[in-house]
Amino acid sequence: MDEAFVPLSELVANLGSSPADLVDEDSGVHTYVTRFEIEVPVELDIGVDEHNRLFVGSIPPLYAVDTSLRPSYHRIRFVAERTEHSDGR
Amino acid sequence: MADENTAWQLEDFVDSLVVELDKTRETLAVKAVNKPLSYSVKELSLDLNTFPSYDGDQVRFVTAQPGQEGASKITIHLNSITDQQVRATTKLPGAQTDIPIARIPVDKATKKKLRRLGIQSVDDLEHLRQKNVDLGQVSDGDIDYSQLNKQIQKSRRDQQPPQVKSISLGFDEDSVPYLSIEGRHLSVDPAFPPVAAVNRRVAQVLSRGDGELRIRLEGQLEVDNELILALDEYSVVKVNVKAR
């Protein structure tokens, strides 16, 4: 995989990091996000590794520069939901 | 981008995507151990710009490269389903005795037609036969089931080929001499009576079983004797029996 790219799982895990809770101690309000949806253009590097397995490398657009040769932007969208823990957390 | 823009099949791509999504879930699950709030990915969709090609057998895709225009768009949606839904919509992995269609010695065109009918293994074919589905009819007569059935029998038989372990001389109650052939899977096809020849003369098969065959001996054995056995339509065993 090209070194500029990361496995798709890393991209999604990083983009889907838990948003911090919004806490207002004075008014006693604790707000948290229950569901979020992210949609971004991505560049993809799809190839076959030495074990004959298909790999999917991905990276959001690297440069905000308008060039004559435009990268081919694919699009990824995912939905993440807050998970309830069995121990009540 | 990588230097080589490899063509890929949709099945392989979706497999990789599912693996990547599982890895994401595992990462988020680890994070969840120490965090009061955690999130899990429920849905994922991907729009891909690709150039599809069809070689008459398979559809392959090449990912669009920078500067390339006119690409087709494929959208892949992955949704979470429950384990109950998985059980209801997925066939259990093949049993040990099941044989994938790819391993049956039939021509490529028949394999392709079977795949298109959703038949992946011999067990799938067996299931259709039990349901009285006429494959000849649904494939416009392109699939010859009797021929296919022979190949299936052969593939099944190849998993348990006949093995001869030892040969000895014996006498029955009437003192009639016989050769006892011991081994495994000696009676693989109930519809095929074994045929034996001792020193190029057909000999009577007295009894047959999976572990032993008894062949009647006419006359005296010579010092070197040639025994030829046809145990089913795919196997002929030739053994040299020395009399001591």
The CA-CA-CA angle for residues A58, A59, A62, to 5°, reads 155
Please indicate whether, in this complex, the C-beta atoms of A85 and B15 are within 8 angstroms of each other: no
Phi, psi of B177 (to 5 degrees): -75, 145
Nearest residue to B106 via CA among B65, B147, B76, B62: B147
* pLDDT tens per residue across span A46-82: 888 888 788 888 888 877 777 778 788 899 998 888 8
**pLDDT given for residue A84 in this prediction:** 66
Query: Is B152 in the same domain as B170?
Result: no
Cβ–Cβ < 8 Å for B94, B123: yes
**pLDDT given for residue B97 in this prediction:** 64
Percent of chain A whose predicted confidence (pLDDT) is above 70: 92
**pLDDT given for residue B36 in this prediction:** 61
Contacts of B91 (CB under 8 A, 6+ apart): B120
Q: Over chain A, what is the mean pLDDT?
A: 81
Cα B135 from Cα B128, distance rounded (Å): 8
* pLDDT tens per residue across span B114-133: 777 778 787 787 777 777 77
Q: Which two tokens stand for residue B14?
A: 């979706």
Cα B122 from Cα B169, distance rounded (Å): 41
Q: Over chain B, what is the mean pLDDT?
A: 80
Query: Is B169 in the same domain as B154?
Result: no
Whether residue B65 is contained in a domain is answered as: yes
**pLDDT given for residue B2 in this prediction:** 43
- B36 in A contact zone (CB under 8 Å): yes
Q: CA of B68: which chain A residue's CA is closest?
A: A72
Please indicate whether, in this complex, the C-beta atoms of A77 and B45 are within 8 angstroms of each other: yes
**pLDDT given for residue A88 in this prediction:** 45
Confidence of residue A86 (pLDDT cuts 50, 70, 90): low
At which of B121, B141, B158 does a domain end?
A: B158
Query: Is B149 in the same domain as B174?
Result: no
Cα B228 from Cα B196, distance rounded (Å): 6
Domain count, chain B: 3
The neighbour count for residue A47, using CB atoms within 10 Å, is 21
Query: Is B7 in the same domain as B78?
Result: yes
Cα B168 from Cα B215, distance rounded (Å): 11
Q: What is the mean pLDDT of residues B218-229?
A: 82
**pLDDT given for residue B61 in this prediction:** 92
B58 CA to chain A: closest CA distance, Å?
17
The pTM assigned to this predicted structure is: 0.57
- A59 in B contact zone (CB under 8 Å): no
The domain in which residue B85 lies consists of 2-89
Cβ–Cβ < 8 Å for B171, B178: yes
Is the ipTM here above 0.85?
no
* pLDDT tens per residue across span B138-162: 666 667 777 777 777 777 777 778 8
Query: Is B123 in the same domain as B189?
Result: no
* pLDDT tens per residue across span B64-89: 988 888 899 999 888 877 767 767 76
Query: Is B8 in the same domain as B83?
Result: yes
Cβ–Cβ < 8 Å for B216, B171: no
Please, where are the H alpha helices in A1-89? 8-15
Owner of token pair 């572990």: B211
Return the exposure string of B22-53: e unless at least 16 CB atoms fall within 10 Å of the residue's CB, then b: ebbbebbeebbeeeebbbbbbebebbbbbbee
